[in-house]
Structure 1
Amino acid sequence: MNHIVKPGETLSTISADYRISLSRLIAANPGINIHLIHPGQKIRIPGLPSPGSLPYAINISLSQRRLTLIHNGKVQKSYPIGVGKMLTQTPTGDFVIINKAPNPGGPFGTMWMSLSKKSYGIHGTNNPASIGKFVSRGCVRMYNRDVEELARIVPIGTPVHIRP
């Protein structure tokens, strides 16, 4: 898949966001000047499918506190979510799911799905009363049964669009 460079990003921050080594990122982009990347530039991310090749997408509305699963352009299901509080807001933008980890422990419930932004993900919760509220440190919380269902459906590489 390709990543479009945003202002302030470096190859190091991009490699950290996608959890791949800097050397692997450089190898996937022959001829790139590692000291001179610019906003709007395309960077190839190895190991992830092109989001356009997948039938699924996830749309997240922070204001409505809803996650909507899209399949082939049509709404398949909508889930209630908890999102970041004022001081630790959920980031907006376009991301992809880069990995899944069942039973991550602690407050993350029974499933963790990492987003292509370091330290952020979609996960379950050990506090179901937090769903529907602005309570997290930026992650998207779901009921455990819902995040498990979602994780069974969507593949790695699924695009995630987070909007205010």
Structure 2
Amino acid sequence: MLQPSVKQAFALSKTRTRALLTFRVRLLLVSFLALSLAILADQPSSASSSAQPAQTTENPAAPPQASPKPPEQENAKPPSHLRIPAALAPYLDPGFHPDLRFEPDLSPTDADTQALRLEIRLSRRQVTLYRGETPLKSYAIAVGRPGWETPVGTYEVKQMIKNPTWVHPLQKGVVIPGGDPENPLGRYWIGFWTDGKNWIGFHGTPTPRSVGRAASHGCVRMYNKDVEELFKQVTLGTVVKVVK
């Protein structure tokens, strides 16, 4: 009775083992098939996406703007086109700014800082423009006639007028407007002396032949081109020294 039972049990176990192996093989086949299908299904999608050009829009979004830098950072790097004084060269790294151009300091010289001044020499009928003690240019002049001598002394420019009006010093009411070709003062007036009523100064003249003589009522006549040139160089306060 025991022997047939053992055989039956052994046969049943063998059948179950075979069924289990068959199930596992089928499960592996199904998994492999599902994985293969998934791979095949993914390949066309990848190819399609790689073949399509990148999408563009008509109005692409503006690139993000950098946050504003503090003023000290903006000024930390000088623009390379600036001319940098040579005195700053030791404090800047030329490797960082290789195209910076270091220029020599254009400091004013002692002669440049000295004021312009004028000196009239009555005996020479000449006025000389000086910077400090250096003469720059001399001009021929007419000075006051006897009885109307140009006063000797040190003065300064108090008036500068373009197209001055001339008032006759002896005949009351005789006036010639500025810009008139017959105006005895010409086109430029540089006044340096006054007694509160009458004035003496440099001016042009419609009678250039009088230049070089003692011919005026105390004023200093000049050729029109010379007084125009002088007018452009002096300023109010320029010293005027008159010597014999």
Q: Residue 100 in 1 paired to residue 177 in 2?
A: no
Partners of 2:133 and 2:235 in 1: CA distance: 16
> Max radius of gyration: which structure?
2
Letter in 1 for 2:209: A
Letter in 2 for 1:55: A
What TM-score does the superposition give when structure 2 sets the normalisation length?
A: 0.44
Letter in 1 for 2:185: F
Q: CA RMSD in A?
A: 1.3
SS of aligned partner of 1:154: coil
Q: Where does residue 143 of structure 2 map in the other structure? A: 83
Residue by residue over 1:86-109, the C-alpha shift from the partner in whole angstroms, topping out at 9 and shown as x without a partner, is 111111101100121111132001
Choose between structure 1 and 2 for higher RCO, CA contacts under 8 A separated by at least 6 residues.
1
Equivalence map 1:5-154=2 (5 Å): 55-104=115-164, 105=178, 106-118=183-195, 119-154=199-234
Relative distance call for 1:146 and 1:80 in structure 2 (3 A) is same
What TM-score does the superposition give when structure 1 sets the normalisation length?
A: 0.65
Relative distance call for 1:54 and 1:108 in structure 2 (3 A) is farther
Residue by residue over 1:71-99, the C-alpha shift from the partner in whole angstroms, topping out at 9 and shown as x without a partner, is 13200000000000011111110110012
Partners of 2:142 and 2:236 in 1: CA distance: 22
Higher helix share: 2
Partners of 1:127 and 1:65 in 2: CA distance: 16
Kept in 2, the 8 Å contact 1:102–1:110? The answer is: yes
Relative distance call for 1:54 and 1:113 in structure 2 (3 A) is farther
Relative distance call for 1:78 and 1:139 in structure 2 (3 A) is same
- Report the alpha carbon displacement of residue 54 of structure 1 after superposing the two structures with TM: 6.0
Q: Percent of pairs identical after alignment?
A: 40
SS of aligned partner of 1:146: helix
Kept in 2, the 8 Å contact 1:95–1:117? The answer is: no
Letter in 1 for 2:237: G
List 4+ stretches of structure 1 deviating above 6 A.
Answer: none
- Report the alpha carbon displacement of residue 117 of structure 1 after superposing the two structures with TM: 2.5
Kept in 2, the 8 Å contact 1:82–1:140? The answer is: yes
Q: Structure 2: which 5+ runs fail to align?
A: 1-112, 165-177
Kept in 2, the 8 Å contact 1:54–1:158? The answer is: no
SS of aligned partner of 2:235: coil
